[in-house]
Amino acid sequence: MEEQFNTAELNEMKEQISLLRRKLEKETIVNEKLIRTSMRDKLKAVKRRSYILCAIVLISCPVWTTPIFNFHSPWFIGVTIAFLLIAVVYEIYCNQLLSTQNYITGSLVDEARKLNRYKQLSRQWHWFSIPFLCIWLPWFVYEATSMGGFFVKNILIGGLIGGTIGGIIGWHIYKKGQNAVNEVIDQIEELTEEKE
């Protein structure tokens, strides 16, 4: 009798353990889907900010051809617009690596490689843009001062304030995007470690 009772009790415990395992497996699947959705949403935010900046830059290109900037030489305006267009094309190219479609069902290892490539390309942009700006800023000052007159002081002060504010905002957006990408890479590493 006691042996039969132990067998029934043992079978009941096995069923409970089996039920608990099924619940834990479902919870793991749900948690993984939530994490993947979170990663996708973070990258969508990075892409959205990037495309907004690209739109602002594209809108600013025609502004350089208005009479407000007629004191600049055509070469200066052309080089400035060319730089802005190169920046937009490069940003769009980099954003192609931030495909958000594969995060729910795709291979996270491949996505981590793409994200690391995106970070590398973002850093490489500074090797071009910072030296360019080191040449462009003195050229801007030269162009503004060669005009002479009352407006020189106003143009230089406005350029200094605008450049400082733009630089701070740009650096903040860059760091925010890099931090989001780093968080996603960390989440991918955690998920892949759990699976192993």
CA distances from 54 to 43, 57, 78, 106, 177 (A): 16, 5, 18, 28, 15
Residue with tokens 């079978």: 11
pLDDT at residue 131, as a whole number: 93
Q: Tokens standing for 144?
A: 């503004």
pLDDT at 24: 60
User: Which regions in the chain score pLDDT beneath 70?
Assistant: 1-6, 10, 19-20, 22-32, 68-69, 100-106, 149-150, 194-196
Cα torsion 110, 115, 120, 122 to 10°: value is 150
